[in-house]
Amino acid sequence: MSFFDKLEKVDPRAIYLLLFVIVAVPLIRPLGLPLSMSPMTTSFYETIEKLKPGDVVVVSYDYSPASSPEQYPQSKAVISHLLAKGAKIVTVAFWADGTPFIDRTYKDVLGKSSDHPKYGTDFVNLGWVPNGEIGMAAFGKDIHATSPKDYYGNPTAGLTMMKDIKSGKDVKMLISLASGTPGVPEWLRQMQAPYGATMLTGVTAVSAPGIRPYFPTQVAGVIEGLGGAAEYEVLLARYGYIGTLAPPMDAQSLTHMLVVLFIVLGNLGFIIKKYGKAK
């Protein structure tokens, strides 16, 4: 039995084990592998940099815990950047499971959420809005009617900053942290196109190829998966933001090398066996 015959019969569980080890090693002892910068992440950062203090930004959490390893680091970095720029942040979720991440982000970034002194003046958490695209259309039309109370039960109309933010017309920028439907295409249809808000997005790596055609004409910047979040953390270092994604990106690079190795071995085996038989 040749090497490639043996390789074909390897127990998949051995590969899983190898994968676990490859992931665990750089997490325990980071390797410091280099990180490239994508133009989409740079554009995301530069677009937020252009915001003026007081500009209204809607951040929509359109993801669930399943994609949180990729999107929660994006959320933390984006909210930190917006707070540093002095933007008025309206956070909302169109995925029910994404709602708790809003509160968690503010607690991780500011140490507090609804009990923070700037809650209601600089940022609000409007919680979940149901019905996907229909909800987005309603939100754009009348924010107060769609979200009459915030996540914590306070009347939206009673929150200081919300007195001047009533519809999509008052929104300068929309950031959708999305991993599926409803997500970016729905926001484009219901907010970016009708109200002209500048749109940015942070997506999972799975969704990224489907979102790229919108850049740069419709979506001004994209953070793609864990890699994009790591790039964004590097850009935020000038604000003193302490990133946490260098070790995970080392693990990501190593797993990719492993996958490439398996693909090369698999193809080599296929070619050698095919031509071996032909002889």
Give contact residues for other proteins (rule: CB under 8 A): 13, 16, 19-20, 23-24, 27-28, 39-40, 42-43, 46, 64, 66-70, 96-97, 99, 127-134, 137, 146, 148-149, 153, 185-186, 188-190, 192-194, 204-206, 208-210, 213-218, 224-227, 247-248, 251-252, 255-256, 259
Q: Which is nearer to other proteins, 63 or 122 (CB)?
A: 63
Q: Which is nearer to other proteins, 122 or 225 (CB)?
A: 225
Q: Which is nearer to other proteins, 27 or 271 (CB)?
A: 27
CA–CA dist 215, 141 (Å, integer): 25
Cβ neighbours for 187, distance < 8 A, ≥ 6 positions apart: 60, 136, 174, 176, 178, 199, 201
Q: Which is nearer to other proteins, 118 or 205 (CB)?
A: 205
Give the Cβ contact number of residue 190 at 10 Å. Answer: 23
CA–CA dist 243, 247 (Å, integer): 10
Q: Which is nearer to other proteins, 89 or 92 (CB)?
A: 92
Helix/strand/coil percent split, the chain, to 5:
60, 15, 30
Nearest CA to 211 among 177, 236, 248? 177
Beta carbon of residue 97, minimum distance to other proteins (angstroms, whole number): 6
Q: Which is nearer to other proteins, 205 or 234 (CB)?
A: 205
Phi then psi for 271, rounded to 5 degrees? -65, -45
CA–CA dist 160, 177 (Å, integer): 25
Beta carbon of residue 131, minimum distance to other proteins (angstroms, whole number): 7
Q: Which is nearer to other proteins, 83 or 246 (CB)?
A: 246
Cβ neighbours for 20, distance < 8 A, ≥ 6 positions apart: none
Beta carbon of residue 277, minimum distance to other proteins (angstroms, whole number): 26
Beta carbon of residue 23, minimum distance to other proteins (angstroms, whole number): 5
Beta carbon of residue 34, minimum distance to other proteins (angstroms, whole number): 17
Beta carbon of residue 136, minimum distance to other proteins (angstroms, whole number): 9
Beta carbon of residue 67, minimum distance to other proteins (angstroms, whole number): 7
Contact 138, 22 (CB under 8 A): no
Contact 43, 216 (CB under 8 A): yes
